[in-house]
Structure 1
Amino acid sequence: MAMLARSAHGELLVGLSRAQVRPVPDGLASKLVTAGRFGGLAVRSTADCPFAGAGSDLRIRLVVPNDYIEQFSELPSPALDDWVAREVSGPLSRGYPIDSIQLGVTPLAAEYAARFGDSLPAASKNLAERVNPLGVGVTVSVGLDDLSASYPPSAGRFGIDAAPVLERTLPSAAGLSLDAYPFLLALGATDPATVAFLALEPTAQGFWDDGGGLWYADALSSVHDAAVYALEGLGFGDLPVSLTTGWPTDGAAGATARRTATFLEGAARWTAGGEGSPKRPGANMSLVFRELLDEDTAELTEDAPWSRRWGIYDSAASSKLNVSAVGTYALVPGVDYETVDRTFCVVRSEAPDDALLSGLSFACNATDCTSIQKDASCYSPPSLRRHATIAYNGFFQDRGQDASACDFGGTKVARPEQPREACGIPTPASARATTVASATGHPITASRVAKTRPVEGHAGVPTPQQSERDEGCDTRTT
């Protein structure tokens, strides 16, 4: 079922970060956004979306980095004046359809230790005074953790630290931006029905909120209305609430491409359905899906091993999902592809464990090792040699298959052998390609396989075998 991401009833935007090891070209990024039928973009700078200027149907939400908040709170503030001229008034004069500015990303979170408690109210007021006359509103960003309670929605209240700051900040705000990730709530859930509800499964069972006397059929309405009740508690019950959310495709047991696709489709239904929420029936719902593209430069931590896999597309602009509701496909309409040969790097059977551990640590400091984190798609079976193969090969691909990147102190080598397939190492896409995967005990091998990759200005669109990872290992041709 196809539906427009933006309609008369609401708006589905997508975050666009250009923080990839090899940045996706502007023209290709534009085609990905168009293929997704998103109504707008959330970006840190209009420089990230030069294709969204005059003549574009996209709406732009600018997201101010937290580090600017303290500077914006000062008067006079050359930093604020320069930023408004560079990111707002200048682009508006060139036709960029900027309609809102989000001040920070959950600046009241506990990790900032009240750093922005004093500066946020003044920063919001100063920014609003400069951009409101230009027709642009300022929204204040909070996270679900800034609420002392969010379930049931009628119990929604801001915490004792956030509430007094928001009371002083919200008078100058045009809305509240709520970062809410049902995925994080699902991490500790053991009941399949709870996970289905959080993942926006269309057949999931909802719940009755006795306090509000309302039925909640989906997780997005639940967290949205928790924020509405919390705003009412501060005297700002009419303030619009927009959500920023997403579901990663790897890095945890519940992070899969299939579940991300389901969640994205649910988000599209939520914004386009025209039903509003139980607390605000008929309201226009606005949502930002966290990332269009994976950020393979994002910090990978033990607490958040999924941090590089929030994207609908991977960092090379290949689709991880096939979601008809928002128009994303393995091959994006209007994007030209070329077929190239790729070489893959795998482990020597005689390599000692201590050398593999050293090489694995080095590779994972420089490339994306999400898939071999505990509970991720390629963690099991937990073999050192298998994990090293996946990490080494990622390092090798990130560096353009340069022969010097497939060595690691002699623990890897390029040799035309035919090892067994391993999770996370692509399989052949055509009869002329040789097997490229490695499993435990096989030497490092560099074999060649056909791959389709998006390019600009290349004639012809080949049709490779389309595959999609569901639960478990990723065996897509990459």
Structure 2
Amino acid sequence: MSFCVIVLVLCLSVAVAVTESAIGVNWGTVSFHRLKPSTVVDLLKDNKIRKVKLFDADPDALTALMGSGIEVMVGIPNEMLSPLSSSTAASDLWVRQNVSTYLLKAGADIRYIAVGNEPFLTSYSGQFQSYVVPALQNLQQSLAKSNLAGYVKLVVPCNADAYESSLPSQGAFRPELTQIMTQLVEFLNSNGSPFVVNIYPFLSLYGSSDFPQDYAFFEGTSHSVTDGPNVYNNAFDGNFDTLVAALNKIGYGQMPIVIGEVGWPTDGAISANLNAARTFNQGLINHVLSNKGTPLRPGAPPLDIYLFSLLDEGAKSVLPGNFERHWGIFSFDGQAKYPLNLGLGNRLLKNAKNVEYLPSRWCVANPSLDMSDVTNHVKLACGVADCTTLNYGGSCNGIGVKGNISYAFNSYYQLHMQNEKSCDFDGLGMVTFLNPSVGECRFLVGVTDTNSSGCEPGLGSYKKWLIIGLLILWFFIM
């Protein structure tokens, strides 16, 4: 290692210790009711959020972000890792279309490319594992060809299940990942990139009845974890230091760490509610911005933290749980769910402005009719629209049978942009101009987005075509 490189490494190590953490957000778009990208960018700016992480490279989002001054992390879906790992032509094309195009004067300030999303997840059974490092190498070459390698950094968001331990100081990467993680971290280190990890204390609590609830938060616990001279009072610090120990075991104990996802849902499970989400997120922000760090990294908190997430995504898969659609600090229409200070003095979250709603009308069950034959209609409505708040632990779980029917009808009706026929249900539904919301159970009114057909979630059809294009290119090159 040359003297210059040694000096650079030392400077980076010092930077980890003194750099103040920044709070960013994840902007996901798997929703039936998408706000205009320009409205979302205005929401970010109004709340002085200076960092945003995308799960793709949606051209509408990137165009809206141009000139905003917001630092951007764009994403590459796992399905694209295979062609990108095998073809520099494919990586050149991806960089040209999704990075170079936007990195102009007054353009989108793309700082990171997330190569895959949790590609080492245990449930993937190694499906994407072998593609990660070759894809990184090809993309790095493509960035270098575009003279962007010094500005745009490649990262790989990893799930916390990539490492394991009973105590933080004994943290280690899963045995089958040790070799590839060593290669990955060597690559990140040589190119000045941080290690990105997603940490979810909520999932630990949700997945285990033995997990102590107060240990998931930051307000003190009667279930502290003692690890030699170190005492852990919250799950976040314990998880973070387990990663630090794992990195140390492969020789990179000073590697900068960014939290790619962390948060708490507000609905869809017993432990998912507004109060818990506010308590966790505010506690997390205060803890990180205090710069106390963790026992293994005192005074050196994560480089950045991206809250998960900015907005609710009502079209996400509920396979992990109904809470998956309720992670937003804002509801789908950009309205703050609870008071939250992002560390900007006394400022609390500001709502989105100029949101274009559909008319204030709802579809409900006709109170004068017999609902004994409604079961199939409810199944149809909830099979298409989002009814997760009706389930056990949800905010609408206690509104009664007719309330449940009305909620299902209305969700379907709003999804279909209030089309008159979508409130028929063989005559059992009726349109009302009186808001049927009850307490915390909100009957939504849709927004007039710019890219919805009224039936399809905004999943970014461009991404599907880009994947197809890369696969075709890959086929002809191989």
- TM band (smaller chain): 0.7 to 0.9
Q: Is the 8 A contact 1:128 1:172 kept in 2?
A: no
SS in 1 for 2:313: coil
The one-letter code of the counterpart of 1:270 is H
Give the CA deviation at 1:168: 2.5
Distance 1:324 1:453 in 2: 27
SS in 1 for 2:321: coil
Query: Superposed, which structure 2 residues align to 1:298-377 within 5 Å?
Result: 298-301=316-319, 303-325=320-342, 327-329=347-349, 331-332=351-352, 335-336=353-354, 342-348=360-366, 350-353=369-372, 355-377=373-395
Distance 2:138 2:338 in 1: 42
Distance 2:58 2:226 in 1: 42
Distance 1:83 1:271, change over 3 A: farther
1:86 maps to 97
2:203 maps to 184
* Aligned with 2:238 (options 210, 216, 222): 222
The one-letter code of the counterpart of 1:27 is S
Q: Is the 8 A contact 1:320 1:330 kept in 2?
A: no
The one-letter code of the counterpart of 1:310 is W
Distance 2:381 2:421 in 1: 13
Q: Is the 8 A contact 1:131 1:137 kept in 2?
A: no
The one-letter code of the counterpart of 1:184 is L
Aligned length: 416
Is the aligned partner of 1:276 residue 2:288? no
Query: Superposed, which structure 2 residues align to 1:67-86 within 5 Å?
Result: 67-74=79-86, 76-86=87-97
Distance 1:421 1:401 in 2: 21
Distance 1:171 1:318 in 2: 42
* Aligned with 1:168 (options 159, 180, 183): 183
- TM normalised by structure 2 equals 0.78
Give ranges in structure 1 of 5+ residues lacking alignment.
Answer: 1-6, 428-450, 457-478
SS in 2 for 1:73: helix
Distance 1:283 1:420 in 2: 46
* Aligned with 2:44 (options 33, 38, 43): 33
Give the CA deviation at 1:279: 1.2
Considering fraction of residues, name the structure with more helix: 2
Distance 2:322 2:435 in 1: 31
Give ranges in structure 2 of 5+ residues lacking alignment.
Answer: 1-17, 451-478
Is the aligned partner of 1:52 residue 2:69? no
Is the aligned partner of 1:403 residue 2:420? yes
The one-letter code of the counterpart of 1:401 is Q
Is the aligned partner of 1:106 residue 2:124? no
SS in 2 for 1:187: helix
1:256 maps to 273
> CA-to-partner distance for each residue in 1:296-351, whole Å, 9 max, x for gaps?
221233x411111111112222221221345454645xx24789862222224543
Query: Superposed, which structure 2 residues align to 1:414-425 within 5 Å?
Result: 414=431, 424-425=441-442
Give the CA deviation at 1:269: 1.8
* Aligned with 1:240 (options 233, 245, 256): 256
Is the aligned partner of 1:391 residue 2:378? no
Distance 2:254 2:41 in 1: 35
Percent identity of equivalent pairs: 22
Superposition RMSD in Å: 3.1
- TM normalised by structure 1 equals 0.78
Q: Is the 8 A contact 1:345 1:406 kept in 2?
A: yes
> CA-to-partner distance for each residue in 1:46-98, whole Å, 9 max, x for gaps?
622434323x3321112221111111211x33221111112222322344322
